[in-house]
């Protein structure tokens, strides 16, 4: 665990198993202890296990829920307990919450759609403390998860390319800024027009 300074701000990056509520809570607590305060929390964990609804195993279903939904809930809850008033919480979802565009993706889409409701409710619950909550819904982005399908995906995106990780990161950075202080409870899609 090492704190890093960037443009006068201090950030801390920790690794934790998103399937473990204990590890997630500990990571948030260690961060708050190390920094003395918690202003921004970003939950960026997710897995994709594909399968048709009639053959999908209960074990895979439970794991998808644990990583894609339960971890976001645990993270929001832990962060809110450690966070200063006026803080920012950003959950990374997926545009599949809006459009399930590929076969064997129903459970993944369901988990990402669940984040939409979670973020709306969390935004209302935390509004009295001026903590804002966002759900960023990226589309196909050049990562290990989607790069193998890059050429196929490009044909479906109006901008004819996959997103770059830096584009998503800069969007999250904006949401964490003071300028985004009047946005909350929103699910914001960044996908090159894929669900347009």
Q: Active-site positions?
A: 108
Only one residue has tokens 């946005």, namely 183
Tokens matching residue 48: 């994709």
Tokens matching residue 20: 């473990």
Among candidates 118, 125, 120, 155, which has minimal Cα distance to 140? 155
Evaluate whether 131 touches 86 at the Cβ level (below 8 Å).
yes
Element (DSSP H or E) covering residue 90: strand 83-92
Beta bridge partners of 154: none
The secondary structure of 13-49, three-state, reads CCCCCCCCHHHHHHHHHHHHHHHCCEEEEEECCCCCC
* Size of the chain in residues: 196
């Amino acid at each position: 665990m090492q704190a890093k300074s960037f443009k006068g701000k201090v950030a801390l990056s920790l690794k934790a198993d998103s399937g473990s509520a204990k590890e997630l809570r500990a990571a948030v607590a260690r961060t708050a202890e190390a920094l003395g305060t918690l202003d921004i929390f970003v939950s960026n964990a997710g897995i994709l296990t594909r399968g048709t609804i009639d053959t999908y195993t209960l074990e895979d279903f439970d794991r998808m829920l644990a990583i894609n939904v339960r971890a976001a809930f645990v993270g929001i809850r832990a962060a809110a307990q450690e966070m200063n008033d006026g803080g920012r919480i950003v959950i990374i979802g997926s545009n599949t919450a809006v459009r399930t565009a590929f076969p064997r993706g129903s459970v993944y889409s369901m988990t990402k759609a669940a984040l939409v409701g979670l973020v709306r409710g969390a935004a209302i619950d935390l509004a009295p403390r001026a903590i804002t909550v966002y759900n960023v819904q990226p589309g196909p982005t050049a990562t290990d998860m989607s790069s193998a399908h890059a050429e196929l995906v490009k044909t479906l995106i109006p901008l004819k390319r996959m997103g770059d990780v830096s584009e998503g990161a800069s969007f999250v950075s904006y949401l964490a800024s003071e300028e985004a202080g009047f946005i909350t409870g929103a699910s914001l899609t960044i996908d090159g027009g894929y669900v347009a």
